[in-house]
Structure 1
Amino acid sequence: MNFFNRWGNFMMAGAGALAQWEIENAKSILSSRKRIMMIGLLLIPVVLGGIAFADEVAPVLPDLLGGKKSYSPAFYSLGIFLVSIAIGMGAGLITGCIGAGGGFIIAPALMSAGIKGILAVGTDLFHIFAKAIMGSVIHRKLGNVSVALAVVFLVGAIMGATAGGVINRVLYEINPVLSDAFITTVYSLMLGFLGFYALSDFLRCRKAGDGTCAHGGGKTEGADMGGMAKALQAMNIPPMVTFDQDLTPGGRSISWVFLVLSGALVGLAAGIMGVGGGFLTFPIFVYVLGVSSMTTVGTDIFQIVFTAGFASISQYAIYGFIFYTLAMGMLVGSLLGIQIGALVTKVVPGITIRGFYAMAVLAGFMNRIFALPGKLGEMDVLPISPALGSVLNDIGIWAFFIVIGGFSVWVIGTFLKNIPTLKR
């Protein structure tokens, strides 16, 4: 149980840090007319592609956006663009309202909508990269970035992202179903653990009923260190990287080896799952490496921009695994969803929000775990009929979209109902 709680708290802290990054990015983008205009410019190819597709002229543009020559059934249409906006909004509502990463549901949602796993991962990474560049939050946080720490960490992150991209592409070349099964398995494990921890955390908080459970989950740390961090910093394997000089006399130092290994793990997760790796950076820095939360936040923002950018372009875009139309739809939807969700937190009890987070993550888990038997059956790994596999997959899809859709309706309804209160 201690192991479960420790790692559950570890992941919740990461989810909360990732959500905070998303919220700050959204505020930064929507508070600037220049950045809003940039989104409008990015949407021009989508509009032109729709016109070209409808008129059956200039076929090259729709193909670049995700035409019928792309990885079917993900092809350009108004319907798939609207679905991407809805998926982005659902993820944004979770992020803004719950204060924990809604990006975890994007790849499962895209795969449920018929997008192949490798395309969902590449598109999600590109959407994160576009948001990070436009948000430009990094410029406001540079004072909290330890450049030496970030650069050494990024060496490992780039290697890990490369490995993750190669793994996904090799599996896809062997068998597209194998690629989907692998990504589905990774998401099932991650969402299952996080979802059951979030549920137990919600039940514990509801039983306590004393308001001690902070919104968003997970704890943060300032200058304090745990036993593991002290042990790693005590290992003198040169060169040593120094950081947190402003918080402790002389600062702290840690071997480059542990930074590179940590970066490789974050990059690998980003390359395979398409979530930018941000949900791992915060807990690894704070709990494992002993970096202060202030320095961690700035460095996390720094690494997301470069890790997501490198992975999306070098490992997916140049191989055709980016669906531009979907990425832009998710960007627009998530920006709107985050703003609405953040406002709803002002009028909804925190315990209710925690319950919805547990439901949302567990819905993602059910979606992927119910899709897995059919994929294993297609590869003759599991003795299951195609009909049964299809039924299980449909159950997972319906359960997922009913829960996420119900949550979205509740949040938007609560927002509209409380507009007078929010204005006051």
Structure 2
Amino acid sequence: MRFFSQWGRFMMAGAGALAQWEIENAKSIVSSRKKLLLIGLMIIPIILIGVAFADDIGPALPALLGGKKAYSPAFYSLGIFMVSIAIGVGAGLITGCIGAGGGFIIAPALMSAGIKGILAVGTDLFHIFAKAIMGSVIHRKLGNVSVSLAVVFLIGAILGATAGGVINRVLYEINPILSDAFITTVYSLMLGFLGFYALTDFLRSRKADKGGDAHGGAEGAEIGALCRNLQDVKCPPMIKFDQDLVAGGRQISWIFLVMSGALVGLAAGIMGVGGGFLTFPIFVYVLGVSSMTTVGTDIFQIVFTAGFASITQYAIYGFIFYTLAMGMLIGSLLGIQIGALVTKIVPGITIRGFYAMAVLAGFMNRIFALPSKLAEMDIISLSPGMGSILNTIGIWAFFIVIGGFSVWVVGTFLMNISKLKRKEA
């Protein structure tokens, strides 16, 4: 039980840090007319290519634009674009309102919409990379970035992202169903653990009538035994950091930074989501880096990790669906703004309950999709009809929960516009 609680807090802290990164990026983009105009200009070529070439040379384009090997269209269509915006809005509402992990539902949502797992991962990574570049929040955080810490960490992240991309592509070449089953299993384990912990945390907090922050205060100023033990290992070169927080600063061996980066990169390469949900808890709870330095360094690394993984491991192999990526970017910007406003008028305990529901909906979606994939590979015995029924149940449960949550958030926002205006005033 103690292990479950510790790892649950670990994952929740990471989900919260990733969500905060998304919120800051969205605010940076929306507040700039130039960036919004640039997004509009980025969409125009996708529309023109789709309209001009979808019928004539469309079959030849996916090799360049993504989607040929993944058997999914890379050209523009209104239906595809609207679905991607809806998925982005749902993820953005979760991120903005709950403040934790809306990006976790993107890959399951894309796979439920019929997109192959490897294409969903690549597209999600590219969407995160585009958002990071557009957000341009790095310059505001440079004072909190330990450059030496980030550079050594990125060595491991690049190695891990390469390994994750290779694993996904090799499995896809062996059997596309095997690839989907693998990605589905990874998401089922991660979402299942996080969702059940979030649910128990919500019930415990509700019983105690507490509605505070789920992630605690500012970690990192005081470090635990594990952090001290790792920092005591002298295997040069030693990387120094937190000189402004602790007299003389702290230091840690490059080996632990490279290993941590490799784990984050591997998660990014296999799952998408940039790996950012692991960086914060690893830095704070394992390496003993202050929260202030961690936030800046996480922003720094996620740009390069997501960019490297999306371009070198997915884009050049045709596993990015650009139309979807742009639609999700637009949708998430809108959803995050609305969700962030709703938090001003909704009790914190209610938000935590919705977070548990959203994550568990993603878990149900993937766990119910898994039996049919295993049956197609003859790993388990299951009739196609039963597999289809289970998959349908998972899809409907997922979209009903996420859709219901989205309607509730938007409805709450619309009914309280006057109250929000008074608060702003």
TM range (shorter): over 0.9
| Distance change in 2, residues 1:167/1:218 (3 Å) | farther
Q: CA deviation at 1:74?
A: 4.5
CA 1:242–1:66: 2 relative to 1, 3 Å? closer
Deviation at 1:80, TM superposition (A): 1.3
Distance across 2 between alignment mates of 1:33 and 1:361: 34
Letter in 2 for 1:322: I
Q: In structure 1, what is the equivalent of residue 408 of structure 2?
A: 410
Counterpart of 2:70 in structure 1: which amino acid?
Answer: Y
Q: Which amino acid aligns with 1:175?
A: N
- Give the CA deviation at 1:49: 2.8
Deviation at 1:103, TM superposition (A): 0.3
Other-structure match for 2:51: 51
Equivalent pair of 2:220/2:285 in contact (CA under 8 Å): no
Contact 1:367 1:396 in 2 (8 A): yes
d(CA) in 1 for partners of 2:80, 2:66: 10
Aligned residue type for 2:235: I
CA contact (8 A) 1:53 1:62 kept: no
The match for 2:347 is: 349
Q: In structure 1, how many angstroms separate the alpha carbons of the residues matched to 2:243 and 2:122?
A: 38
Partners of 1:273 and 1:403 in 2: how far apart? 22
Partner of 1:127: 127
| Corresponding residue for residue 231 of structure 2 | 233
Which residues of 2 match residues 393-408 of structure 1 at below 5 A?
A: 393-408=391-406
Q: Within 5 Å, give how 1:321-400 maps onto structure 2.
A: 321-400=319-398
Cα distance, 1:71 vs. partner?
Answer: 2.4
Q: What is the distance in 1 between the residues matched to 2:139 and 2:220?
A: 22
Give the deviation of 1:57 after TM superposition. 4.2
* Cα distance in 1 between the residues matched to 2:360 and 2:24: 26
Deviations 1:255-310 (A, max 9, x none): 00000000000000000000100000000000000000000000000000000000
In structure 2, the CA distance between the partners of 1:348 and 1:165, relative to structure 1 (3 Å rule), is same
The 8 Å contact of residues 125 and 275 in structure 1, kept in 2 or not, is answered as yes
What is the Cα deviation at residue 38 of structure 1? 1.1
Q: 1:210 to 1:179 in 2, by over 3 A?
A: closer
Distance 1:22 1:382 in 2: 40
Cα distance per residue 1:158-196 (max 9 Å; x no partner): 000000000000000000000000000000000000000
1:182 matched to 2:182? The reply is yes
- What is the Cα deviation at residue 101 of structure 1? 1.4
Q: Which residue in the other structure is 2:295 paired with?
A: 297
Pairwise CA distance, 1:125 = 0.2
| Structure 1 residue 52: Cα displacement | 2.0
Report the alpha carbon displacement of residue 72 of structure 1 after superposing the two structures with TM.
Answer: 2.6
Aligned to 1:201: 201
Q: Tell me the amino acid that sits aligned with residue 34 of structure 2.
A: K
Q: Does the alignment pair 1:278 with 2:276?
A: yes
> How do residues 52-67 of structure 1 correspond to structure 2 at under 5 angstroms?
52=52, 56-57=55-56, 59=58, 64-65=64-65
> Are 1:90 and 2:63 matched, yes or no?
no
Give the alignment partner of residue 246 of structure 1, picking from 236, 244, 247. 244
Q: Distance in 1 between matches of 2:131 and 2:402?
A: 22
Contact 1:156 1:264 (8 Å CA) reproduced: yes
User: Which segment is superposed worse, 41-50 or 319-328?
Assistant: 41-50
Change (3 A) 1:402 1:65: farther
**TM-score in terms of structure 2 length:** 0.96
- Residue 70 (structure 2) pairs with residue 71 (structure 1): yes
Measure, in 1, the Cα distance between the counterparts of 2:396 and 2:70.
Answer: 23
Q: CA deviation at 1:63?
A: 6.6
1:16 Cα deviation (Å)? 0.3
Distance 2:53 2:356 in 1: 41
Counterpart Cα distance in 1 of 2:133 and 2:56: 33
Contact preservation (8 Å) 2:210, 2:349 = no
Contact in 2 for aligned 1:374/1:390 (Cα 8 Å): yes
2:121–2:271 Cα contact (<8 Å) kept? yes
Distance 1:50 1:169 in 2: 27
Partner Cα distance (2:116, 2:420) in 1 = 41
1:118 counterpart letter in structure 2: I
CA distance in 2, matches of 1:289, 1:399: 39
Of 216-225 and 26-35, the range deviating more from structure 2: 216-225
Structure 2 segments unaligned to the other structure (5+ residues) = none
Which amino acid in the other structure matches residue 199 of structure 2? L
CA distance in 1, matches of 2:210, 2:12: 20
Once the 2 structures are TM-superposed, how far is the Cα of residue 220 of structure 1 from its aligned partner?
3.6
Cα RMSD of the aligned pairs, angstroms, is 1.4
Q: Identify if the C-alpha distance between structure 1 residues 79 and 70 changes in structure 2 by more than 3 Å, giving closer, same or farther.
A: farther
Q: SS of the counterpart of 2:344?
A: coil
> Is 1:42 paired with 2:42?
yes
What SS does the aligned partner of 2:273 have? Answer: coil
Once superposed, which parts of structure 1, at least 4 consecutive aligned residues long, lie more than 6 Å away? Answer: none
State the alpha-carbon separation in 2 of the partners of residues 161 and 298 from structure 1.
21
Given the two structures, how large is their TM-score scaled by the length of structure 1?
0.97
1:116-163 Cα offsets, whole Å, 9 max, x none, are: 000000000000000000101111101100000000000000000000
Match of 1:260 in 2: 258
CA distance in 2, matches of 1:46, 1:405: 27
The question of whether the paired residues in 2 share the 8 Å contact of 1:16 and 1:218 is answered with no
For the residue of structure 1 that corresponds to 2:239, the secondary structure is strand
Q: Secondary structure at the match of 1:277?
A: helix
Q: How far apart, CA to CA, are the structure 2 residues paired with 1:218 and 1:66?
A: 42
